[in-house]
Amino acid sequence: MKKHIYILASLLLVSGITLAQKGNLKRANKLFEMRAYVEAAEIYETKDRNQEVLQNLADSYYYNTKLQKAIKTYRELFVSYGDSIDIEFHFRFAQALKGVKDYKEADAHLSRYYNKRINTLAFIENTDKTTPHTFKLQQIANEASTNSDFGMSFYGDDKVVFASTRNSESPSYAWNELPYLDLYSGTLTPDEKLENVMPFSEEINTDSHESNATFSKDGKTMYFNRTNNLRAKTEEERIAHVQIYKAELVDGNWTNVKELPFNSNSYSCEHPSISKDGKTLYFASDMPGTMGGFDIYKVAINDDGTYGTPENLGSNVNTKHREQFPFISDLDVLYFASDGHLGYGGLDVFRSNSVNGNFDTPVNLGSSINSSLDDFAYIIREKDNQGFVSSNRSGFDRLYGFGREENILTKYLVEGIVQDNNSKKLLPGSLVTLFDDAGNVIQDSIVGAKAYYLFKIEPNKKYKVRGTRKAYIPQDVEFSTDSKGKIQHNIYLSLESFADAEENVKENEKGDVQVELDKIYFDFDKSKIRDDAATTLNVLVDLMKKYPSMEIEVSAHTDARGNDQYNLDLSKRRAASTLEYLVSKGIERNRLKSIGYGEMQPLNKCVKEDICSEEEYDVNRRCEFTILN
């Protein structure tokens, strides 16, 4: 929920601030700008509660996860100054509300923020059904007294590395008045207890922050975070930034510590993760060109030890808010934390698969690992389904081990293909619809080139799947996932075309499927349905009643003799009269369409007067019945 000391883009250098200076509002604003939120809040609480004071006080509580105080102050702010508040306060207020699981009020602010309806509870329900895995978390037991342990990494086969504020001799950090971070190694017992915890050497741990170590496959190279020690030159920017460093293991000691060339004193690079082949480093940064507060980047590690140009992973992964703590697994799956994608509250863990060199739409990992507060620094050994994650759900940053299992709800599915009942040819472009037992549409899909469909379903439910296609008879198949049914269903939808099912349905040269009837005759210059025409049309009535999904276009045509406009108007009247007859016989009007083409669509060369015989002109005087669906 807050921007923790390990999440920061920018870290403080505020050693000159004393208690004697606290009463000054100008000093409070300076403390706020420098992210010394604890001290800033103390001063703001003593001041008149104007808009600036309320905004900064609410944000100070928000960034330090004092959520009840943040919510109370944001609410006061919105009551007093709602019309003049910057839109970003809606986002932070919503995040604070989600932190205490007040999703209804949070959604009201998020809906305004995103200018679309947000329904977090519906999102949570759907995510828990569709997320690929579930997780069993266990907090890692720790004998040390510390308020912050996070960012665990694999360190060889039997060790782990993590960041901690357990060094009580470290100076206090003004953001939240906790000690500075150092890196520690240790071993884990089978029951998730840390043992043999040792700090890294002074070559790695300095009097600044160090965190988020990652190691090459051979264990001889380490990348990690360190806060730089340079105070920015301008009074307005008295902050330091996070940078990525590299160290090498030489004769059992970590040495040759160097910062990476794309670091900067004006922005942060943090949370490194190295690919299995050692050729790509992933990290988070707020460098120029970033889409939001922080984005995920990657950079090539060249064979000669140099680095390429950092590349932003783009809008599939990154949002206008925070994407941080990337981890690239052995299977090239990207895991990261974000508060910009829809989630449970604060930072949530997401996964994104690599597809043709790009990462696809991220998937929230669900409520078995994500909470309403911050969940981050996820790592996993995919083959073992074992890993670690960090969270402040208990009020402090803590380490959790987890086992990962397949989500049983995703095992319930119905899948299949759509094919022609007679030729067995695939029918891409067909519509497949899933209904519940009340007839409500749950999902639908237009099948692709392989004519394949898949729907995720739930246990103990009854369903119906329907395949439809133009000029084909729909097929319905009912099935169940209750105790008498199956978990997985493979249903081939074999659709029969009207042309195969009925002798008087044919496909013409243009590919239109038509119902062939005896010729309909009208009296000269008339559009009234004659008795002989009615007998013919009754064949169509019976066919449409047999197939309730069938939709028909009734078209009327004339020959080329006579006035063009007269012929067009006459054909329109005859088509409309035919439609009305069908309606009078019980065919729903919405299944019918009438159109008159006049002399515009002749079937032969008789396109003007006095060039054809009577029999040839007669060919073009007709009604046609084309199947639309």
Provide the 8-state DSSP code for 2.
-
Residue 482 tokens, joined: 């209750």
Q: Does domain 21-118 have CATH number 1.25.40.10?
A: yes
pLDDT in the model for residue 483: 61
Would you give the distance in Å from CA 321 to the centre of its chain? 15
Quick one: what percent of the chain has pLDDT higher than 90? 63
Let me know: does 565 contact 617? Beta carbons within 8 Å. Answer: no
3-state secondary structure (DSSP) of residue 493: strand
Q: Is 100's pLDDT higher than 70?
A: yes
Summarised one tens digit per residue, pLDDT across range 182-194 is 999 999 888 888 8
Q: What percent of the chain has pLDDT over 70?
A: 91
pLDDT band at 509 (very low <50, low <70, confident <90, very high): confident
What distance in Å separates the CA atoms of residue 407 and residue 410, rounded to the nearest whole number? 6
Q: For residues 493-520, b (16+ Cβ closer than 10 Å) or e, as one string?
A: bbbebbbeebeebeeeeeeebbbebeeb
- Mean pLDDT, the chain, integer: 87
Q: Is the pLDDT of residue 216 over 70?
A: yes
Q: Give yes or no for a contact between 178 and 148, defined as CB atoms under 8 angstroms apart.
A: yes
Decide if pLDDT at 155 tops 60. Answer: yes
Q: Which class for 347: exposed (0-12), middle (13-18), buried (19 or more C-beta within 10 A)? A: buried
The domain over range 133-409 is classified in CATH as 2.120.10.30: yes
Tell me: the pLDDT tens digits for 474-491?
999 999 887 666 777 889
Q: Do domains 21-118 and 503-627 have the same CATH topology?
A: no
Predicted pLDDT of residue 169:
66
With CA atoms as reference, report the closest residue to 6 among 238, 235, 248, 325: 325
- CATH superfamily of the 411-500 domain: Immunoglobulins (2.60.40.10)
Q: Tell me how far apart the alpha carbons of residues 129 and 107 are, in angstroms, rounded to a whole number.
A: 21
Q: What CATH code is assigned to 503-627?
A: 3.30.1330.60
Residue ranges of domains in the chain: 21-118, 133-409, 411-500, 503-627
Q: What is the pLDDT of residue 79?
A: 93
- Model pLDDT for residues 232-284, shown as the tens digit of each residue: 443 444 566 899 999 999 999 999 999 999 999 889 999 999 999 999 999 99
For residue range 282-294, what is the model confidence (pLDDT) as tens digits? 999 999 999 988 9
Distance from the first to the final alpha carbon of the chain: 53
